[in-house]
């Protein structure tokens, strides 16, 4: 993954933020929308593209674009910085390859210990019953 190349491929759009905010909010476009096309990216290898498309399938549009929005801060610059950080965190998380699980078996001592404790519990409960008079 080439961060500099991906940064060049990102497209930003400033939009008016929704919600309350008085007169100033009607004049300022502080919400930032980030658009990224993983299929046509030169900063990702083919394997990384495949993994991204698989992991982010639910977040992609019909055209295959990833769109993220941020309107947390009042400043457009802060929102842009936040959305870039969030985007790279999402990329990093979706490109992680999970470790293969190795099948293991319990040790002999742990099996014996478990069976011994089961026997003790079984005896404990057996002593609680009424004795047979036969």
CB-CB contact of 84 with 34 (8 Å):
yes
pLDDT for position 2 = 82
**What architecture (CATH level 2) is domain 3-95?**
2-Layer Sandwich (3.30)
Asked whether the whole model's pTM tops 0.85, one would answer no
CB-CB contact of 90 with 60 (8 Å):
no
Alpha helices in the chain (DSSP H): 3-9, 46-55, 76-95, 108-126
Q: Per-residue pLDDT tens for 11-69?
A: 999 988 876 666 776 778 888 999 999 888 898 899 998 998 999 889 999 998 999 99
Task: Tell me how many helices (H) and strands (E) the chain has.
Answer: 4, 3
Distance of alpha carbon 106 from alpha carbon 109, whole angstroms? 8
Q: How many CB atoms lie within 10 A of CB 111?
A: 11
The alpha-carbon radius of gyration of the chain (Å, integer) is: 29
Q: Per-residue pLDDT tens for 19-33?
A: 666 677 677 888 899
Buried b (16+ CB within 10 A) or exposed e, 85-105: eebeebbeebeeeeeeeeeee
Estimate to the nearest angstrom the gap between the alpha carbon of 104 and the chain centroid. Answer: 28
Cα distance between the two ends of the chain: 79
Arithmetic mean of pLDDT over the chain = 89
Pick the residue with more confidence: 107 or 25? 107
């Amino acid at each position: 993954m080439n961060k500099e190349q991906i940064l060049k491929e990102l497209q930003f759009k400033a939009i008016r933020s929704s919600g309350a905010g008085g007169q100033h909010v009607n004049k300022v476009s502080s919400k930032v929308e980030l658009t990224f096309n993983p299929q046509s990216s030169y900063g990702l290898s083919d394997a990384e593209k495949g993994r991204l498309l698989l992991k982010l399938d639910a977040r992609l549009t019909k055209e295959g674009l990833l769109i993220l929005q941020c309107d947390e801060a009042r400043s457009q610059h802060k929102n842009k910085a936040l959305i870039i950080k969030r985007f790279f965190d999402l990329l990093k998380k979706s490109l992680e390859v999970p470790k293969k699980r190795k099948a293991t078996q319990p040790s002999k001592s742990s099996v014996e210990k478990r069976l011994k404790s089961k026997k003790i519990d079984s005896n404990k409960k057996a002593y609680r019953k009424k004795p047979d008079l036969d």
